[in-house]
Amino acid sequence: MNPGKILLVEDNPDDVALTMRALKSHNITNDVIVVDDGVQAVEYLLGAKGRPGAEELPAVVLLDLKLPRLDGLEVLERIRADERTRLLPVVILTSSDEERDIVKGYRLGANSYVRKPVDFMEFTEAAKQLGLYWLLMNRAPPVSRTP
């Protein structure tokens, strides 16, 4: 399996636990880095004052939209604004299927938009599909490193 990491940006610990369980139940054992707000997500990827971003970018970012401090769409905007993360695969994984969120998400350069189903069976299935697709099927863009 692809050794790439998954960055899960999710503020709801229940959702984190359920996502981890769903991934695990399908033997997706890749590292999952969990950050529970938008600012942390940005800092992890792009670094903060006096600290560089993650040395190795995740294979995919699973991004919730409703987040404390910086919401998911703003995080996406920052990710796309930075040369290093411009091509990073980002999947919006959220409760809502509000049309404006979908449209704005794609407009800002989301690679995919998945609505979390209420039914846990369906949720597990979605997690599995996402893991399989983004970690196995998909070819990540070549890593461009800033000096």
Q: Residues, the chain, total? A: 147
Q: Count Cβ atoms below 10 Å from residue 124 Cβ, excluding itself.
A: 18
SS3 state at 134? helix
As given in the structure block, the two tokens for residue 43 are: 């800092």
Q: What is the DSSP letter of 48?
A: B
SS3 state at 128? helix
Which residues, numbered 29-58, are part of the site for another protein (CB under 8 A)? none
Pattern of binders to another protein over 71-110, x per CB under 8 A? Answer: -----------------------xxxxxx-----------
15 is an interface residue for another protein by CB under 8 A: yes
Among 2, 4, 20, 21, binds another protein (CB under 8 A): 21
Among 12, 30, 111, 112, binds another protein (CB under 8 A): 12
120 is an interface residue for another protein by CB under 8 A: yes
Q: Render 85-125 in DSSP notation, one character per residue.
A: TTT--EEEEES---HHHHHHHHHTT-SEEEEPPSSHHHHHH
* Complex with another protein: residue 34 or 65, whichever CB lies closer: 65
116 is an interface residue for another protein by CB under 8 A: yes
Using CB atoms within 10 Å of the CB of residue 132, give its burial: 0 to 12 exposed, 13 to 18 middle, 19+ buried: middle
* Complex with another protein: residue 56 or 97, whichever CB lies closer: 97
Minimal distance, residue 39 CB to another protein, in Å: 19
Q: Which residues bind another protein (CB under 8 A)?
A: 12, 14-15, 18, 21, 65-66, 94-99, 116-121, 123
